[in-house]
Each structure stands twice: as structure tokens, then as C-alpha cells.
């Protein structure tokens, strides 16, 4: 039950009794404790979270992450990262036993099950800065494998609208990852995750390309370079990336890869190609909706296959 009032929360265990006055903005703390217990129990408590952790994390403000508003015990090891909060809601609605964990700014999070496998989904918003925040805070909450699911524009003639691109690596044409490590350090996807994504896409009948993505900071710098003071530089760089074989362009994957690598997590990315290399063709309407559903199902299938394979190994 959603509430907005001060509540006295009494928590007792064998050794201690806590009486604390707490402000609840979104839901009753007792309900949240029950919710967190359901989440942690849904995947067998893989991180070894104590049974009273759901209540304890509510009592420890520092345990709830500043931006995503999630805490340890609420996030599954495998997390999908769409950009759009509405897409996070959509994927959350596809999960069994789904729980809306938190919604703050561009970050909307659900946790549930897909074919029995625990999965979370958190929207990152547009661009690398907010994606880096999401990855940092999700890892602090227990995420181990983070997979971007998004849209992109083709950079090659043979990569058509409606196709999927699974990243092996990404061009770091953005500024956020430079705050982590010099640009000579590559932004590389986890190869096992990439192959799982490619195989699951093919099983669902999608045309999937495996290769390098291009991650950028400026949408309009790429779409309308002639309107920029550095038009010649932008077009020269774009031509070089195309000539080098980059398959599609988007705005988050390189930073997700770099941050995950630095923090010793694993990451992947699968993107729907929404427009042709010259922008003349776009996927839209019902075709777009069906493709996004297949994209989401592919990433969820990969999670179930990956987690199931690890448990059966």
C-alpha cells in the first residue's frame, strides 16, 4: 500500500530491538520488507543475504543506492539495461513474480523470473553518464552480468532495419569512460554473454550480426553533422568508423563495458537496428513493437540459458 507519512517501525530479533522513525515516500516499510523477502527468496539468496537483511537494509540509509534507490537483496545477478523507463516497465511485465523495486529519475527497476531464472531490469536513460551510474550502483547491489537492450542505427549496407547487432566490443567515442581509464583500454563485451545473445536471437528467428558497435555522446552530432562547427571532423571520424567495420551506432554500450570490466563484472549488449545506414529507411509501427518484444525475449532467454548452464555445470 502506497503511503506518505512518518511510521514507527519496530524490528526485533534474538539479540536486539530497534525502534526508528522513518519517512516513507513510496510504500509502507512493512510491505517493502515483505517484498524484499520475496525477491531475495526467489533465486535462493545467491549472495548469502541473511534472512533479516530486507529489514536491515531499510534501517541503513547508506545501503540504498543514491540514484537507483535499490539495495542488496533486491537485484538479481543478471540485469537487463534498456534506456527507456517505459521499456523497463514493459520487460518487467513479461517476468513471472515481478516486483517493481524502485523508480527514481530515469532509473526504473523490476526483479522477477524468466523461465525460472532470476532477472532484474533497470532503465539507464539516454547516454553514457547515466548508464555509468546505473552500472556502478547495480553492481553494489549484487549485479554480476549486465546486458544493454536498446535500439541503434545501422552503419553498414548489409545491416538492415529490423536486424539485431550483438556487440563484441564498442568504439569509445564518448567522454564518460575516460574518467575510468585511458582510451587505449578497449571496451569489450564478455564473449560468453555475446555468444549466448547471438544464439538466442537466432533461435527466435532474428537476423543477428556479431561485431563492433559505435557509442557516441551526441545524437545530433552524428545525425546532423553539417550543423556543427566541427562538421568536417565529425564526418571524417564517422567515415573512419564505418570503414573500420563498426556495425551500428548507439549511446551507452562502451561505458557499460568499461565500467563493468573495471568493477570486475561481465557485460554484453544487443541492439535492434531501427534505421538504415543512410537514414532513408526506418522500422516502425507494429514491426517495431514486435521487434522490441523479440529483442527483450532474446536477452531474457540468454539470462535463463546462462544461469541454467552455470547451475548445471
Span 186-232, pLDDT tens digits? 999 999 999 999 999 999 999 999 999 999 999 999 999 999 999 99
Q: What single-letter DSSP state applies at residue 22?
A: E
pTM over 0.85, yes/no: no
Say what the pLDDT of residue 91 is. 98
- Please say if the pLDDT value at position 171 is more than 50: yes
The superfamily CATH assigns to domain 29-312 is: Nucleoside phosphorylase domain (3.40.50.1580)
Q: Which of 4-18, 58-72, 131-145 has the highest mean pLDDT?
A: 131-145
Tell me the per-residue pLDDT of 40-50, one tens digit each, with 9 for 90 and over: 444 444 333 33
Task: Work out the average pLDDT over 286-294.
Answer: 97
Contact (Cβ atoms closer than 8 angstroms) between residue 43 and residue 118: yes
Say what the pLDDT of residue 145 is. 98
Tell me the per-residue pLDDT of 26-68, one tens digit each, with 9 for 90 and over: 444 444 444 444 444 444 443 333 334 333 434 344 489 999 9
- Please say if the pLDDT value at position 9 is more than 50: no
**Polymer length in residues for the chain:** 313
Say what the pLDDT of residue 31 is. 47
Say what the pLDDT of residue 134 is. 98
CB atoms within 10 A of CB 229: 7
What dihedral angle (degrees, nearest 10) is formed by the CA atoms of 191, 92, 311, 254?
20
Pairing, β 145-154 against β 17-24: unpaired
- Please say if the pLDDT value at position 16 is more than 60: no
Using CA atoms, how far apart are residues 304 and 132, in angstroms rounded to an integer?
25
Domain boundaries along the sequence of the chain: 29-312
Task: Work out the average pLDDT over 71-97.
Answer: 97
Q: What single-letter DSSP state applies at residue 282?
A: B
Contacts of 17 (CB under 8 A, 6+ apart): 10, 11
Using CA atoms, how far apart are residues 124 and 245, in angstroms rounded to an integer?
27
Among 58-72, 156-170, 236-250, which is the least confidently predicted range?
Answer: 58-72
Predicted confidence band at 310 (pLDDT cuts at 50, 70, 90)? Answer: low
What are the beta bridge partners of residue 146?
79, 267
Say what the pLDDT of residue 311 is. 53
Contacts of 295 (CB under 8 A, 6+ apart): 149, 164, 206, 270, 271, 272
Tell me the per-residue pLDDT of 112-134, one tens digit each, with 9 for 90 and over: 999 999 999 999 999 999 999 99
Q: What single-letter DSSP state applies at residue 141?
A: T
Q: What is the mean pLDDT of the chain?
A: 84
Q: At 43, phi and psi to the nearest 5? A: -125, 30
Task: Work out the average pLDDT over 140-156.
Answer: 98
Predicted confidence band at 300 (pLDDT cuts at 50, 70, 90)? Answer: very high
Contact (Cβ atoms closer than 8 angstroms) between residue 292 and residue 87: yes
Contact (Cβ atoms closer than 8 angstroms) between residue 82 and residue 149: yes
Per-residue b or e along 86-101, where b marks 16 or more CB atoms closer than 10 Å to that residue's CB:
ebbbbbbebbeebbbb
Amino acid at each position: 500500500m502506497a503511503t506518505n507519512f512518518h511510521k514507527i517501525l519496530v524490528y526485533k530479533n534474538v539479540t536486539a530491538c530497534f525502534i526508528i522513525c522513518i519517512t516513507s515516500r513510496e510504500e509502507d516499510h512493512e510491505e517493502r520488507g515483505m517484498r524484499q523477502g520475496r525477491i531475495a527468496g526467489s533465486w535462493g539468496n545467491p549472495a548469502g543475504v541473511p534472512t533479516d537483511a530486507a529489514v536491515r537494509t531499510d534501517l541503513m540509509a547508506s545501503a540504498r543506492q543514491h540514484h537507483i534507490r535499490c539495495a542488496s537483496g533486491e537485484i538479481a545477478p543478471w540485469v537487463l539495461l534498456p534506456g527507456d523507463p517505459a521499456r523497463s516497465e514493459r520487460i518487467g511485465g513479461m517476468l513471472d513474480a515481478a516486483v517493481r523495486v524502485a523508480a527514481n529519475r530515469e532509473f526504473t527497476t523490476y526483479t522477477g523470473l524468466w523461465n525460472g531464472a532470476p532477472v532484474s531490469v533497470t532503465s539507464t536513460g539516454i547516454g553514457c553518464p547515466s548508464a555509468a551510474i546505473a552500472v556502478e550502483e547495480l553492481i553494489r547491489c549484487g549485479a554480476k552480468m549486465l546486458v544493454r537492450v536498446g535500439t541503434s542505427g545501422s552503419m553498414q549496407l548489409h545491416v538492415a532495419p529490423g536486424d539485431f547487432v550483438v556487440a563484441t566490443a564498442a568504439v569509445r567515442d564518448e567522454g564518460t569512460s575516460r574518467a575510468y581509464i585511458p582510451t587505449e583500454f578497449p571496451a569489450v563485451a564478455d564473449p560468453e554473454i555475446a555468444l549466448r545473445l547471438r544464439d538466442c536471437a537466432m533461435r527466435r528467428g532474428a537476423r543477428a550480426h556479431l561485431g563492433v558497435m559505435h557509442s557516441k555522446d551526441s545524437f545530433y552530432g552524428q545525425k546532423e553533422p553539417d550543423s556543427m562547427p566541427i562538421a568536417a571532423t565529425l564526418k571524417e571520424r564517422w567515415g573512419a568508423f564505418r570503414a573500420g567495420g563498426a556495425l551500428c551506432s548507439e549511446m551507452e554500450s562502451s561505458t557499460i563495458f568499461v565500467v563493468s570490466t573495471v568493477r570486475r563484472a561481465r557485460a554484453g549488449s544487443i541492439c535492434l537496428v531501427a534505421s538504415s545506414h543512410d537514414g532513408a529507411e526506418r522500422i516502425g509501427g507494429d514491426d517495431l513493437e514486435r521487434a522490441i518484444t523479440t529483442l527483450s525475449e532474446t536477452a531474457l532467454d540468454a539470462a535463463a540459458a546462462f544461469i541454467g548452464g552455470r547451475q548445471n555445470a
